Amino acid sequence: MSTWWRGGLAATLAGAALGVLGPFGTYGDLSITERYAYWIGLTVLMWTQTAVVFAALRLASRFARQPLWLQATAAALLGAVPTTFEVAYVEGLLRVGGVLTPRSLAETYGSVAVIAVGLFLPLTTILHRRPHAPAVESASFARALPAEVGSAVVALAAEDHYLRVHTDRGDSLIHHRLSDAVRELGDAGIQVHRSWWVAKDAVERVERDGDRHVLVLRGGVRAPVSRTYGLAARKAGLIP
């Protein structure tokens, strides 16, 4: 199931929970059917619009370099703008009525923004979280690593006939082929350049160096993304 649909399902469940609780006076003002329709409709609509804003913002490389929590919060706050008008319209039909004023819209936006951030931030963090790279299990590769650098690999960089292994405790140059190491490490990471492999969970942000992307990894390691491997890196969610 795609991230979009998983998020929509989670938003539906959140809406059902809010339908039971009936916050903001909806418990007393609306029937149970109206409450469920109101809250499920709101959360699914909110998720959809915010997800669209999130995807659009991530097309900008400067935005994509920001921490995920900041990206999600910004998208939620922007996505809450159209949702505010939609909620105001529904409220006018079901409960309030009357003419919209700047003050009433501001109050509605405040409530919608709280729900949007509370819904989208944790969902985005969970759905976009990359699996933690396991410690090296391959006997041949593990034996080649000095004990002082540990086995939690952050990146691999080929240097002539050697391989520089970056871990969370430092780096070391070993006699090993990059292709063998990539095969042994499996799905913990991805090759992003003919000379570079990175652990997916080690990527902290993305920067631009001219017309190419550079992955900034845990510990400050910088790994270039070549055009050849750019599509794979994009599919893996490492670059926008």
SS (H, E, C) the chain: CCHHHHHHHHHHHHHHHHHHHCCCCHHHHCCHHHHHHHHHHHHHHHHHHHHHHHHHHCCCHHHHCCCHHHHHHHHHHHHHHHHHHHHHHHHHHHCCCCCCCHHHHHHHHHHHHHHHHHHHHHHHHHHCCCCCCCCCCCHHHHHHCCHHHCCCEEEEEEECCEEEEEECCEEEEECCCHHHHHHHHHHHEEEEECCEEEEHHHEEEEEEECCEEEEEECCCCEEEECHHHHHHHHHCCCCC
Cβ neighbours of residue 35 under 8 Å, at least 6 residues apart? Answer: 19, 20, 22, 26, 27
Q: Is residue 9 part of a domain?
A: yes
pLDDT of residue 98: 62
Listed residues 62, 92, 127: the one ending a domain: 127
Question: Are 66 and 145 part of one and the same domain?
Answer: no
Question: Are 169 and 226 part of one and the same domain?
Answer: yes
Listed residues 63, 95, 127: the one ending a domain: 127
Question: Are 59 and 171 part of one and the same domain?
Answer: no
Question: Are 63 and 85 part of one and the same domain?
Answer: yes
Question: Are 13 and 110 part of one and the same domain?
Answer: yes
pLDDT of residue 149: 83
pLDDT of residue 130: 54
pLDDT of residue 79: 95
Residue-range definition of the domain harbouring residue 84 = 3-127
Q: How far is CA 130 from the centre of its chain?
A: 8
Q: Is residue 133 part of a domain?
A: no
Cβ neighbours of residue 193 under 8 Å, at least 6 residues apart? Answer: 223, 224, 225, 226, 228, 229
Q: Is residue 197 part of a domain?
A: yes
Q: Is residue 240 part of a domain?
A: no
Question: Are 106 and 153 part of one and the same domain?
Answer: no
Listed residues 81, 103, 127: the one ending a domain: 127
**204 touches 216 (CB < 8 A):** yes
Question: Are 115 and 145 part of one and the same domain?
Answer: no
CATH number of the domain where residue 160 is located: 2.40.50.1020
Q: Could you state, in chain order, the average pLDDT of each consecutive group of 10 residues for the chain (240 residues)?
A: 79 94 90 94 94 86 76 94 92 74 91 94 80 51 78 90 88 88 87 95 90 91 94 90
Q: Is residue 134 part of a domain?
A: no
Question: Are 123 and 60 part of one and the same domain?
Answer: yes
Q: How many domains does the chain have?
A: 2
pLDDT of residue 133: 47
Question: Are 39 and 108 part of one and the same domain?
Answer: yes
Question: Are 75 and 107 part of one and the same domain?
Answer: yes
Measuring CA to CA, which residue among 35, 45, 36 is closest to residue 7?
45
Question: Are 123 and 29 part of one and the same domain?
Answer: yes
Question: Are 116 and 227 part of one and the same domain?
Answer: no
